[in-house]
Chains A and B, each alone.
Chain A
């Protein structure tokens, strides 16, 4: 099988699958079980100054979609609620017992030099491979001037990262919050300060639902709710975009990326790596199914790489980045039409009704009952793909390329664009 060994900012692990800083990495007991199960690394649950924080009950909210539990997940937990020295002792023990696994320690202390210096030297003592600066937590800690309150101000990101780089020999990962307008601002600030890697995304500001009896957001604590951090499969598209923005930014080049957000399968991981992640982290996936999912992630990624002829991760790392372009660079002359495979069609008529009601009236219906037939009206089809997405039968509606003989032309070259620079 393909070689899954991973190296990110000098930190090595037997595979790219790490646990993100969260409850699954809260103590030695969990991390030990995770490593036994096969996880390549773990970012320890964020450490802070003593005395430890206090959590509420309840703490989690979730979105079930069409019977799928936890399609989205949210929490109002804070950083670790255990004393610092207990965590440090356990981290040291784990790193000693599992030298081949990546052990990274997530940190969050107030925005002053002294506390950072103090905690960094304590972590160095554990033998951990790296630190991750948690500038992402969107609730609770941000109100205390930490977490996202730092991550949303590029100057603070740069300042704290710079301190850490001078205070420790360990590689520094900067964990970014997605709750910003432009992810490049904090990413470039981290780069300017010498960060070895960025890790993203942390959770997205959210209210997952409203309890209509209690008239309060969930999760509800004694009749009230607070905004929390959203994660799980629902946030993956957001995370992929933010990772890719950084991966293709020339100013960020050379800085490693640890991809996080909604990763639950080997395919999710492959997509993050193809868009420029050097490794990936998982939280909700294991909080939903337990550590065992890593078995399939390992065999699935390896099997797919074998099939594709990729010997190691670097063979496809970032391979999709050059194909991630701005809209204006897309070929406006490329043309597709929907093709309905009549042998596969089960006559549900969804393609017809959505095109008729909400798109371009390009799918006709003839006949009745089981004999009815749905066909594309090529002249009306704009190739939007809507029908192919709603069709419940795999491979029944495909989008076929139309050979219109037209050359590549993008919007900047299009005569229909009044601002076009080079019309053909």
Chain B
């Protein structure tokens, strides 16, 4: 083993890279979709509907696929979830709809709801016109901050009701984590931008990029200029691991590197280490591990301080990482990162679960030599500084309609409590739009 830092671009040829970052799922063709759609029992009060955070009428859209009514299927989905296309690609269906499919018994397998949803929403590709009509202009205006899933869902819901929506987005492109965060092979072929374009087709939505709340604009300003405000800010900061050596070269936040990867015009120009250590146990950890592996890293080890059951990543995601050649190590607590200038090794302490449920050191130490370390232990919300809404547990406090402590301000998505999932962000945006619509229709002016 040489002791030279090995971080470089172009580990794989372009053809292999293109293959590695193409769609992970083979979409159904018409015949395949028909066979799968006919596996659905069309349950009474179907459990899958309750398991979908946006409450899509799943048996209903599947039946439409079976009858060859793809437009109807797409409508059924998008009516509840305007980002049904990305949800079909990114939802952890095994713990959502498919997890509650009645066909999970021994010797059976759940209906492939995600893939069928994708088949139905892919219909939009060839559709001539936007599927939803916009009501007559109401003359009301709403500011939506953040063009991620929550903001987009809210904006679409409001625009449909005839309200005028202005979106303020800090980044250069819309889509939020669909554009900057989700693993590249889940939303291949620039899908995030195509979907945003579809959402905007309804009309009445203006988008301003490079406009950050707290910098170019203030909440007070928005509240005075617009009839209502929706905050879909996501989580702008990453949680600290708190290790010595975090400032060494080669130590990165997973989300920053993924954003770079997602925006790279040429993946073969993106430098990646030969030996990688990932610290964390959630889906972000899985995503960075698999993506660095697919960029050509030789040896990728994901280290989590507890066992497989406690990991935030679903069983399906863990398995996916392992089949991609990622080694997963458990019961190791990171203690420090070692190196001079460049990181050379990550040092862990072996731990076990104490009787009281906390982790107890068992005295062993393990050193994993590496060229790059990725921190993936979670994101946190960055509160807005000027007279922002009240917080709860570090995120914006909202009631069940998404309304904050400020009467004309709503919030949803990752910046409020709840599952950090695309589909949940869409639901939050949708619910808030309904509530804002009611508020605007009741307020006289």
- Give residues in A with beta carbon < 8 Å to B: 66-67, 346-350, 352-353, 365, 369-370, 392
Contacts and interface: CB of A to CB of B under 8 A. Distances in A.
A350 B46 CA distance: 10
A25 B45 CA distance: 52
A349 B45 CA distance: 7
Interface in B25-45: 31, 34-35, 38, 41-45
B47 A369 contact: yes
Contacts of B44: 348-350, 352-353, 365
B38 A347 contact: no
B358 to A, nearest CB: 32
Given A369-B47, A369-B50, A370-B47, A347 B102 contact: yes
B423 interface: no
A58 to B, nearest CB: 20
Contacts of B42: 350
Nearest to A374: B44
A347 B102 CA distance: 7
A350 B42 CA distance: 8
Given A67-B35, A67-B38, A392-B41, A346 B50 contact: no
A365 B47 CA distance: 14
Contacts of A346: 102-103, 105
B94 interface: no
Nearest to B66: A66
A348 B47 CA distance: 8
Nearest to A352: B44
Nearest to A346: B102
A353 B45 CA distance: 9
Contacts of B31: 67
A348 B43 contact: yes
Given A369-B47, A370-B47, A370-B100, A348 B41 contact: yes
A67 B43 contact: no
A183 B326 CA distance: 71
15 contacts: A67-B34, A346-B102, A347-B43, A347-B47, A347-B102, A348-B43, A348-B44, A348-B46, A348-B102, A349-B46, A350-B41, A352-B44, A369-B50, A370-B47, A392-B41
Contacts of B105: 346
Interface string B64-83: 00100000000000000000
A348 B102 CA distance: 6
Given A67-B35, A347-B43, A348-B44, 20 more contacts: A66-B38, A67-B34, A346-B102, A346-B103, A347-B47, A347-B102, A348-B41, A348-B102, A349-B45, A349-B46, A350-B41, A350-B42, A352-B44, A353-B45, A365-B44, A365-B45, A369-B50, A369-B100, A370-B47, A392-B41
Contacts, number: 36
Q: Which one of B34, B38, B41, B100 has the highest number of Cβ atoms from chain A below 10 Å of its Cβ?
A: B41
Contacts of B34: 67
A16 to B, nearest CB: 33
Contacts of B100: 369-370
Contacts of A348: 41, 43-44, 46, 102
| A-B residue pairs, 3 tightest by C-beta | A349-B44, A353-B44, A66-B38
Give the interface centre of B34, B38, B45, B46 by most chain A CB atoms within 10 Å: B45
A271 B43 CA distance: 33
A241 B443 CA distance: 71
A370 B43 CA distance: 12
B47 A350 contact: no
B34 to A, nearest CB: 5
A7 to B, nearest CB: 43
Contacts of A370: 47, 100
A392 B39 CA distance: 10
B59 to A, nearest CB: 10
B38 A350 contact: no
Contacts of A352: 44
Interface string B161-174: 00000000000000
Interface in B66-122: 66, 100, 102-103, 105
A346 B66 CA distance: 22
B42 to A, nearest CB: 7
Contacts of B43: 347-350
A89 B42 CA distance: 57
B66 to A, nearest CB: 7
Contacts of B41: 348, 350, 392
Contacts of B47: 347, 369-370
Interface in B1-50: 31, 34-35, 38, 41-47, 50
A373 B120 CA distance: 32
Nearest to A344: B105
B43 to A, nearest CB: 4
Nearest to B33: A67
A364 to B, nearest CB: 12
B252 to A, nearest CB: 42
Contacts of B50: 369
A66 B41 CA distance: 12
Interface in B184-210: none
A46 B50 CA distance: 59
Contacts of A67: 31, 34-35, 38
A352 B100 CA distance: 19
A374 to B, nearest CB: 9
Nearest to B104: A346
A407 B7 CA distance: 89
Nearest to B50: A369
Contacts of A350: 41-44
Nearest to A357: B44
A252 to B, nearest CB: 41
Nearest to B32: A67
A262 to B, nearest CB: 21
A346 B104 CA distance: 9
B109 to A, nearest CB: 13
Contacts of B103: 346
A87 B299 CA distance: 72
B430 to A, nearest CB: 22
Nearest to A68: B38
B110 to A, nearest CB: 11
Nearest to B100: A370
Nearest to A393: B105
Contacts of A365: 44-45
A209 to B, nearest CB: 12
A350 B44 CA distance: 5
User: Considering residues B31, B34, B44, B46, which has the most beta carbons from chain A within 10 angstroms of its beta carbon?
Assistant: B44
Contacts of A392: 41
Contacts of A369: 47, 50, 100
B96 to A, nearest CB: 14
A259 B31 CA distance: 34
A82 B433 CA distance: 72
Contacts of A349: 43-46
